[in-house]
Amino acid sequence: MKNLDSVLAAYLAGWAIFFVYYISVSQRMGALREEVERLKAMLAKGSSK
Amino acid sequence: MTKSIVRAAVLFVLIAATAYLAFNYAPVEKTMGIIQKIFYVHVASAFSAFAAFGVCFYANLRYVFTRQRSADWLGVSAAEVGLTFISVNLITGPIWAHPVWGVWWTWDARLTFTFVLWLLYLSYLLLRSMIEEPDKRALFSALFGIFAFLDVPLVYFSIRWWRTQHPQPVILGGAGSGLDPRMWQSLLLMWGALTGLLILLLNARYKLEGLRASVEDLRREAEVR
C-alpha cells in the first residue's frame, strides 16, 4: 500500500514522543523524591545535634 | 517507577487500539488514500495541545490575581505537556505533507503560527529556568504565558482568515466541509484517548512541580540553619 510506511512513521514518532516524555517525568520525580529524603535526613541530623 | 511504567503501558495500549480502529473502521479517503490516516493523530494532538494551553492560560491568570503557588505549578505543568502535544502535531504534519504537497514544510499562516506557538511555550519554559527567585519566576512566566496564549486563536482561525497551503477546515468549516461519520467517530475516539494521556501527564507533571517546590523549601531551610 502506497505511503503506509509514512503513516506508520507518523504514529510511531507520536507515541515515541509521549513515551519518552512520560519516562522523563517519572525519572525527574524519582530524583526529586530522593533529594527530598536526603534533605529531610540532613535537617533532622542537624536539629538533633 | 514500575507502577508508573505499567500505567503508561496501559494507556499506550489504549491509544494503539484507537489507532487500529482508525485504520480498520474509518474509510480510506478518496483523493489522498492511506496517508490521510495521519489526520487522526495529527488533529487530536492539536486539540489536546490547545486544551493544555487553555489550562496554562487559566492557571497563569489565577496566579496573577491570587499569587497561589499551586496555580504556578499548574501553569508550568500544562505548558510542558502542551509543548509535548504540539510537538507531535508539528512532527506528524510534515510526514503527511510530504507525499501530498511534495514538500515537508511551507511557511503558510497555519504552519507558521503553529511553529510560533511551539517557540512561545519553549520560551516560557526557558524563561523559568533563567529566574531563580520563585515569586519573580512565577509572576514573569504567568505574564508571558498569558501573552503566549494569544497565538492559540491565531493558529485555529488562520485557515479561515487566510488562504493557506494547509487544507481548509473540515470540522465546523461551513457549507461544503465535513467528515464521514466513521471518520468523525475515529477522530473522537483518538481525541478521547489522547485526553486520557493529557490528564495522566498533567497529573504526573503537577506532582513533579510540587516536589520541586519542596526541594527548594528544604534547601532554603538548610541554608538558614
ipTM of model = 0.90
**Residue B9 reports pLDDT greater than 90:** no
Greater confidence (B73 vs A45) lies with: B73
This prediction's pTM: 0.91
For B121-130, write each residue's pLDDT tens digit.
999 999 999 9
Nearest-5° Cα angle at B108, B103 to B112: 105
User: How far apart, in whole angstroms, are the C-alpha atoms of residue B92 and residue B79?
Assistant: 20
Q: Is B17 on the interface with A (CB under 8 A)?
A: no
For B82-97, write each residue's pLDDT tens digit.
999 999 999 999 999 9
CB contact under 8 A, A36 and B211: yes
The confidence score (pLDDT) of residue B161 equals 87
For residue A3, the chain B residues in CB contact (below 8 A) are 33-35, 99
Where chain A has pLDDT below 50, the residues are none
pLDDT band (50, 70, 90) for residue B44: very high
pLDDT band (50, 70, 90) for residue B177: low
Q: Tell me which of A34-48, B23-37, B57-71, B158-172 is least confident.
A: B158-172
In terms of Cβ atoms closer than 10 Å to its own Cβ (0-12, 13-18, 19+), residue B31 is exposed
- What is the nearest CA distance from B63 to chain A, expressed in angstroms? 23
Contacts of B47 (CB under 8 A, 6+ apart): B191, B194
Greater confidence (B222 vs B140) lies with: B140
List the single residue in A with minimal CA-CA distance to B23. A7
Q: Is A41 on the interface with B (CB under 8 A)?
A: no
Place of cell 507533571: B205
pLDDT band (50, 70, 90) for residue B163: confident
pLDDT band (50, 70, 90) for residue B27: confident
The confidence score (pLDDT) of residue B118 equals 98
Place of cell 504514529: A11
For B51-68, write each residue's pLDDT tens digit.
999 999 999 999 999 999
Q: Is B119 on the interface with A (CB under 8 A)?
A: no
- CB contact at 8 A, B108 and B164: yes
User: How far apart, in whole angstroms, are the C-alpha atoms of residue A18 and residue B8?
Assistant: 9
List the single residue in A2, A26, A36 with the smallest CB-CB distance to B4: A26
- CB contact at 8 A, A14 and B45: yes
- What is the nearest CA distance from B41 to chain A, expressed in angstroms? 7
For residue A11, the chain B residues in CB contact (below 8 A) are 19, 38, 41
Question: Mean of the per-residue pLDDT values for chain B?
Answer: 90
- What is the nearest CA distance from B162 to chain A, expressed in angstroms? 27
Greater confidence (B216 vs B224) lies with: B216
The arithmetic mean of pLDDT across residues B192-200, rounded, is 91
The domain locations on chain A are 21-49
List the single residue in B with minimal CA-CA distance to A45. B222
- CB contact at 8 A, B79 and B129: no
The arithmetic mean of pLDDT across residues B176-190, rounded, is 84
List the single residue in B5, B84, B207 with the smallest CB-CB distance to A21: B84
The arithmetic mean of pLDDT across residues B173-190, rounded, is 81
Instruction: Name residue B49's amino acid.
Output: A
> Which CATH architecture describes the domain B2-168+175-224?
Up-down Bundle (1.20)
User: How far apart, in whole angstroms, are the C-alpha atoms of residue B13 and residue B2?
Assistant: 16
- CB contact at 8 A, A32 and B211: yes
The domain locations on chain B are 2-168+175-224
CB contact under 8 A, A40 and B218: yes
